[in-house]
Amino acid sequence: MKVLSYNLNGIRSAASKGLADYLAQSGADVVCFQETKAQPDQIDNSMFWDGGYTHCYVHSAEKKGYSGVAILSKKEPDRIVTGMNKPEFDSEGRVLRADFGDLSVLCVYVPSGTMGGARQDFKMAFLDDFLSFLNELRKERPNLLVCGDFNICHKPIDINHPKKHETMSGFLPEERAWFDQLIESGFIDTFRVFNQQPDQYSWWNYRYFARQKNLGWRIDYHLITEPLRGRLTAAAIHSEAVHSDHCPVSVELIG
């Protein structure tokens, strides 16, 4: 199974740039979107049918044009679960889960704290609740793949000029400590199993010619629980895709 994760920064904008054709050629079985910025009736599922994605599930934010996650799949999931049962977070459309046999694919869009103040506090509160949520979920669904935009660079290797960004949301010590805790709890950063090279990024600022200069951040991840380690066969960043200020990331598992 190949799972692709992609922060679209607006599904309608990405669609106008050839998103459906890209997915049809990607070979992905499951696609997880973040930041759809659309209500369900604004997403034309049929654009993905030619690529085999006949099943589409959407969790939009209550606020229009904001946040939102979605999962596309070629095979119908056994179960879809929306949110974390936390109204303050679920109202922003941030978590969506699809179960396929013994595997659960969970799509997450972690809040950004770049506005500072209350939104950074909101981000940290989300992270604390999300970790507790994952630890409880693993008791029921031990084979868990969590993918999406975490809005955190875990280590200095994951960001350009790390010293320059130490006081910026997305690379704050407390955010990175949270990520350490997540890994220590038994999650595996799949990309780093296969690639330990620097300058591997999944998001670039639209300004300052950042993408052309590869001044990026790696904030999009596929994390798997330890029981899935033996089924992991590949993970990659697809920086050639330019439908968004992010690029897709993928993981491949046996079964």
Please identify which of the residues 149, 189, 220, 245 carries the catalytic annotation: 149
Helical packing angle, 173-184 and 117-140, nearest 10°: 0
Which one-letter DSSP state was computed for residue 246?
B
**3 state DSSP class of 31:** strand
Identify the helix (H) or strand (E) that includes residue 1: none
**3 state DSSP class of 253:** strand
CB of 204 closer than 8 Å to CB of 216: yes
Q: Is residue 149 annotated as a catalytic residue, yes or no?
A: yes
Dig out the tokens for 47 from the structure.
Answer: 């654009």
Q: Based on the number of CB atoms within 10 Å of its own CB, is 15 exposed (0-12), middle (13-18) or buried (19 or more)?
A: middle
Angle at 114 between CA 180 and CA 187, to 5 degrees: 20
CB atoms within 10 A of CB 125: 14
**3 state DSSP class of 163:** helix
Dig out the tokens for 158 from the structure.
Answer: 């994951």
**3 state DSSP class of 5:** strand
Q: Which residues are catalytic?
A: 149
